[in-house]
Amino acid sequence: MKLGYQTNTWGGVVGHPAGVTSVKDLYYLAYGSTEQAVRDISKAGYAGIELFDGNLMQYEDRPQIFENLLTEHNQKLVGVYTGANFIYRDILEDEFHKIEKVAKLASAFQAEHLVVGGGAVRASGILDSDYKALAESLNRVAELAAKYNLRPSYHPHLGTIVEKPEQLDRIMELTSIGLCPDTAHIEAGGGDPLATIKKYVNRIPYVHFKDYGSGSFLPLGEGNQNFRAMAAVLRDNHYSGWITVELDSYEDPLNGAVISRNYLREQLNLNEYQTIPTGRGE
């Protein structure tokens, strides 16, 4: 197993304001410094990073700067996180226009994973047909990811039509896309992250570890999550991919990353599974 960290802690989970009036520009965007995030993540002892789509697209016209940043800090671009409503036919092509731009750039930077969230909740409530529409869109995401040699996975998320356990089961039955379990979002939605990993372990190409307690997202070891058991299930099923730690916001991002890294090293003995890349592309 290899350990990565999401850069969104440096700036928080926000979005690009252009998306209010232009669906094709509706990116996730953390407002902090990606450069500082990469430096801190490397210092904390992780081998790779995951970026929001909007933060990745900031390097579209200056790719060498991003390449140099990764090389200088010995980091791998593990993946990029994107998303869409996916249920409204009239805007679907603009949503996929954005996702394809993101996938193309991520592939150019040798990323491995394309992670998507979404499935909008209508003002009038969820329609039964929304699950079919989401499933069709996720299958299309999987095809697009394959075009760019990326591994696609769906990330269940609070505030979408896939936040509860029964909702996740339903969408997993309707689509063949992989699952990226965000352990905290699963628990916050009323699910059991350990049971979810056990149930779908053969469909998991990528994992997000995030702790949860008292209604808040927390560094690993400070909440309710049984990461020891989750890691054991993954190991027993020969999982050798990335585990990316995520913490949407924290007063001291570097310290939050260090807390989680120390927990993984000391409590789960994951250090022996981590492979620090010795150069770009490994």
Instruction: Assign 268 a pLDDT band (cuts: 50, 70, 90).
Output: confident
Rounded to the nearest angstrom, the gap between the alpha carbon of residue 82 and the centroid of all alpha carbons in its chain is: 8
Distance CA 134, CA 117 (A): 10
Say if 135 falls within a structural domain.
Answer: yes
pLDDT in the model for residue 272: 43
Condensed to tens digits (0 to 9), the pLDDT of residues 162-183 reads: 999 999 999 999 999 999 999 9
The stretch 135-141 carries a mean pLDDT of 98
Q: How many domains does the chain have?
A: 1
- Any long-range contacts for 173-177 (C-beta under 8 Å, 24+ apart)? 174/131, 174/132, 174/134, 174/135, 175/134, 175/135, 175/138, 175/139, 175/142, 176/139, 176/142, 177/138, 177/139, 177/141, 177/142, 177/152, 177/153
The 3-state DSSP class for residue 74 equals coil
Higher pLDDT, 266 or 183: 183
Mean pLDDT, rounded, for 27-41: 97
- Whether 82 has a pLDDT exceeding 70, the answer reads yes
Q: Is residue 174 part of a domain?
A: yes
Task: Residue 26: give the domain boundaries.
Answer: 2-273
Residue 81 counted as domain residue:
yes
Q: Mean pLDDT over all residues of the chain?
A: 94
Mean pLDDT is lowest, of 53-67, 184-198, 267-281, for 267-281
Instruction: Check pLDDT > 60 for residue 18.
Output: yes
Looking at residue 271, what is its pLDDT? 60
CATH number, residue 58:
3.20.20.150
Is residue 267 very low, low, confident or very high in pLDDT (cuts 50, 70, 90)?
Answer: confident
| 120 alpha carbon, distance to own chain's centre | 18
**Residue 269, pLDDT score:** 78
Say if 281 falls within a structural domain.
Answer: no
The structure tokens 């232009």 sit at: 22
Q: pLDDT confidence of 270, banded at 50, 70, 90?
A: confident
Flag whether 251 is in a domain.
yes
| Both structure tokens of 218 | 């927390």
Whole-prediction pTM value? Answer: 0.94
Does residue 279 lie in a domain region? no
* Of 130-139, 165-174, 223-232, 273-282, the least confident: 273-282
What is the percent of the chain where pLDDT is above 70? 96
Q: What pLDDT shows up at residue 279?
A: 38
Identity (one letter) of the amino acid at 9? T
Mean pLDDT of 30-45: 97
Residue 116 lies in a domain: yes
What is the pLDDT, as a whole number, of residue 45?
95
- Indicate whether 278 belongs to any domain: no
